[in-house]
Amino acid sequence: MVKSILLVGVGGQGTILASKLLTQGLMEAGFDVKMSEIHGMAQRGGSVSSQVRYGEEVYSPVIEKGGADILVSFEIMEALRWLDYLKPEGKVLVNNYTINPMPVVMGKSAYPNDIIEELKSKVLVTVVDAGEEAIKLGNAKVMNVILLGTIIKLMNIESIDWNKIISENVKPSFVDINLKALEIGKSLV
């Protein structure tokens, strides 16, 4: 049985590191794993996604529409943008954090304030405040690892040695804060 996790956000939010750590852990747990992501022009403040698939044997690295078991969104509107990639019985984890797209910046559109309600009316949604928690920790950038902690809890894969994986894959000076971020993430659900 292959499981598909779609991580989405806005370029610069650290979805790539979170999915890298997640896939590394899944591999060490003995799963076949594939991950796909898009770099390049979209990174410049555009909508980005990392697609993680794991199981006994994985063929395609790409998640198709209606194919994700879990949608993890680092930003509120991105959850709605990618919602049709979720299986109808799938789950959403959304970070209660907004980044204004250019039409909002320009005052041409207003950022809808009822997206989470729209999500909740369709699927099972877990909302966390990873942005606020990251600022409390003193570094807004660790938002991604806080979310990773929450994903791990939701996916029930806590038995993997995540501390080891973080220690081996982030710069030494950032290991401590990321380990703390992971624990906070786990405690949010």
Partner 1 sequence: MKKLLTGNEALVQGAWEAGVNFASAYPGTPSTEILENMIERKEVKSEWAPNEKVALEAAIGASIVGLRSMASMKHVGLNVAADPLFTYAYTGVNGGLVIISADEPGQHSSQNEQDNRNYAKAAKIPMLEPASSQEAKDMMKAAFTISETFDTPVLVRVTTRICHSKGIVECGERTEIEFSDYKKDVKKYITVPAIAKELRKKVEERMNALGDYSGESPFNLIYNNGKKVGVISSGICYFYAREVFGNEANYLKLGFTNPLPDKMIADFCKDLDTIYVLEENDPYIEERVKMLGYIPHGNDTFPPYGELTPDVIRRSLYKEEMPTIDYDKSKVISRPPTLCAGCPHRGIFYDLGKRKNVLVAGDIGCYTLGFADPYNAMDFNICMGAGFSAGHGAQIGFDIKKENKRVVSVLGDSTFFHTGINSLIEVLYNQSRTVNLILDNRITGMTGHQENPGTGRHADLSEAPFMDIEAIVKALGAKNVRTIDPNDLALVKDTIDWALGLDEPSVIITRWPCALKKLSQQDKEEFKDVFTEKYEVDADLCIGCKICLKAGCPALSYEPISKKTVIDRTQCVGCGVCAQLCKKQKAIVKEVM
Q: Would you call 2 exposed, middle or buried from its count of C-beta atoms within 10 A (0-12, 13-18, 19+)?
A: middle
Cβ closest to partner 1, residue 60 vs residue 187: 60
Closer residue to partner 1 (CB): 77 or 151: 77
Per CB under 8 A, contacts with partner 1 among 27-56 are 27, 32-47
Least separation in angstroms between CB 100 and partner 1? 5
SS3 9: strand
Q: Give yes or no for a contact between 166 and 178, defined as CB atoms under 8 angstroms apart.
A: yes
Out of 18, 70, 77, 137, the only residue in the binding site for partner 1 (CB under 8 A) is 77
Distance CA 122, CA 89 (A): 9
Contact region for partner 1 (CB under 8 A) — 104-112, 148-156, 177-185?
104-112
Is residue 86 within the footprint of partner 1 (CB under 8 A)? yes
Among 166, 119, 130, 175, which residue's Cα sits nearest to residue 22? 166
Indicate which single residue of 29, 64, 96, 187 sits in contact with partner 1 (rule: CB under 8 A).
64
